[in-house]
Amino acid sequence: MLLSTSLFGLMNALVKYFINYPTFELVFFRSVVSLIIAWIYLRYLKIPVWGHQKALLITRGLLGSTSMVLFFVSVHFISLGSAVTLRYTAPLFAAFLAVFFLREKIKYIQWLFFFITFLGVVMIKGFDPSVSLLGLTIALTSAFFSACVYILLNKIGHGDNPVVVVFYFMLIASLIGLMGVCFTEWQTPDLWDYPGLFLLGTFGFLAQLFMTKAFRTYEANMVAPFKYVEVFFTLTFGVFVFDEKYSFYSLLGIFLIIFGLVLNIRFKSKVQKNLS
C-alpha cells in the first residue's frame, strides 16, 4: 500500500507538472498508457478482456472517467495537496449513497466522524484565501463521482478480475480524452515531455495494481488507513517541487479530513468483525 501511495503521489505530481497541457490531453495520456499495460497484462494471463458484467463495467468507467477529468481540472484552481485531500472525501459521500443503494445504516458515532471530516473541508476553504470556491466545488464533485464508483465496485464484487475493471475504466477514459481533444485543442508535446507523459499512465496503473494486491493480501482495516499517506507524498511534492504554500488552517483541515475518515474506517472494520 505504501508503494501504491508513493506511485499515486508521483502521478499527481506529474499532473501538476504538465498543468499547461489541455486537461483532456492529459486524461488521454494518463489513460491510454494504462490501457495498453492492462491489455497486455490480461492477454498474458489469458483472462477474458471484456469481462462478464459489461453494463456495470461501462458505468464504472464513465463515472471514474468523470471523476478523473474533474480532479485534473481542480488542480488548475487549488493546490495539489488540497485537491488530493478533498478528493478523499469520497468515502463520506459513499456512506450516504450506501444508505440508499446498499441499505447500509450509519451509526451515531459515524456522524461525529463525518462532522470532523466536514470541519476539515470548512477549514481548508474558510480560512485559506488561496482555495477558490470553484476549485473546491470541482474537487468535491470529483469526490462524489469517486463515491459512486465505490458503490458500483461493491456491486461488481468478485464477478470480474480487478484488472478487467481497470481495463474498462482506462478504455472509456481514453475515448473521453480523445473526444475532448477533438472538441477543444491538441498541444503537441515536446520531445522531452513524452517520457513523463508515459510515466503518468505507468505510475497510475502500477499504483492501482499494488493497491488491489494490498487489499487482497491483508484485512481492509489494516490497509485502508495507509491509503491516506498519498496526501503526505503529494504535499511533499507540492512544497518542495512546485513551491506551494499551505497555511496552518489548510494543514489543520487536511489533518481533520484524514483523521475523520480513518476513524470511520476503523469503526466500520470493528463492526464487521463483531458481526462475523
Structural domains of the chain, count: 1
Residues 106-123 have pLDDT tens digits of 788 888 888 888 888 878
Least confident of 38-52, 97-111, 163-177, 209-223: 209-223
Single pTM value for the model: 0.84
User: What range does the domain containing 81 cover?
Assistant: 2-275
Residues 35-81 have pLDDT tens digits of 999 999 999 999 999 988 899 999 999 999 999 999 999 988 888 88
DSSP string for the chain: -HHHHHHHHHHHHHHHHTTTS-HHHHHHHHHHHHHHHHHHHHHHTT--TT-S-HHHHHHHHHHHHHHHHHHHHHTTTS-HHHHHHHHTTHHHHHHHHHHHHS-----HHHHHHHHHHHHHHHHHHHS-TTS-HHHHHHHHHHHHHHHHHHHHHHHHTTSS-HHHHHHHHHHHHHHHHHHHHHHS---PPPGGGHHHHHHHHHHHHHHHHHHHHHHHHS-HHHHGGGGGHHHHHHHHHHHHTS-----HHHHHHHHHHHHHHHHHHHHHHHHHHHH-
